[in-house]
Amino acid sequence: MANPLEVKADLIPYSEEYGEYVRKWIDCEETFQFVCRGKDFPPPENIIKTWQRSTVKSYLLIDSGKPVAYGELWRREEEMAFELGHILVEPYKRSQGYGSKLVELLYQRAASRPGIAKVVIKLFHEDPIALACFMKNKFEIASTTSYTSGLRMIRFVK
């Protein structure tokens, strides 16, 4: 896995024109379950559109003019936090540092906002690659989730 600092990619706001492209990254039942907690593969055609809400800021990681990863920041006012959601990397770019780069850039974006004390991630599955990615980005296991099996990870803003 590459060092995220060595990966050359930029974070840009998501636009709907990339919806079908991102949907194709949900390439198997396991990815659908891990990223979306979905059960009936394949995902609906409009799944990425259903993720777009006024409280969610969606982003693409772009490398050489092409999207390679997708992720979201969900504002959690009551916690003075942002939560990272729907972290998804293009299948042929996985394990090359793009997920780590995306997570770090999303963290930086969230941490730069006033009144934010922490960034959280909820991991609802046993995926050692995802866990390693988040831990590589200085997230720590804070607890188990209260309403379903999984881990709650946290990184405090300094």
Where do the structural domains in the chain lie, given as residue ranges?
A: 10-156
The superfamily in CATH containing domain 10-156 is Gcn5-related N-acetyltransferase (GNAT) (3.40.630.30)
- Average pLDDT over the chain, rounded to an integer: 89
What does the pLDDT look like over 96-111, one tens digit per residue? 999 999 999 999 999 9
What does the pLDDT look like over 28-79, one tens digit per residue? 898 888 888 888 899 999 999 999 999 999 999 999 999 999 999 999 999 9
Q: What is the average pLDDT across 116-132?
A: 86
Q: Which residue has the higher pLDDT, 128 or 10?
A: 10
CB 12 within 8 A of CB 62: yes
What does the pLDDT look like over 5-42, one tens digit per residue? 567 789 999 999 999 999 999 998 988 888 888 888 99
Q: Which residue has the higher pLDDT, 129 or 90?
A: 90
Answer whether residue 148 shows pLDDT above 80.
no
Answer whether residue 1 shows pLDDT above 60.
no
pTM: 0.89
Contacts 24+ apart (CB under 8 A), 33-41: 33/125, 34/124, 34/125, 34/127, 34/130, 35/86, 35/87, 35/88, 36/86, 37/124
Model pLDDT, residue 128: 82
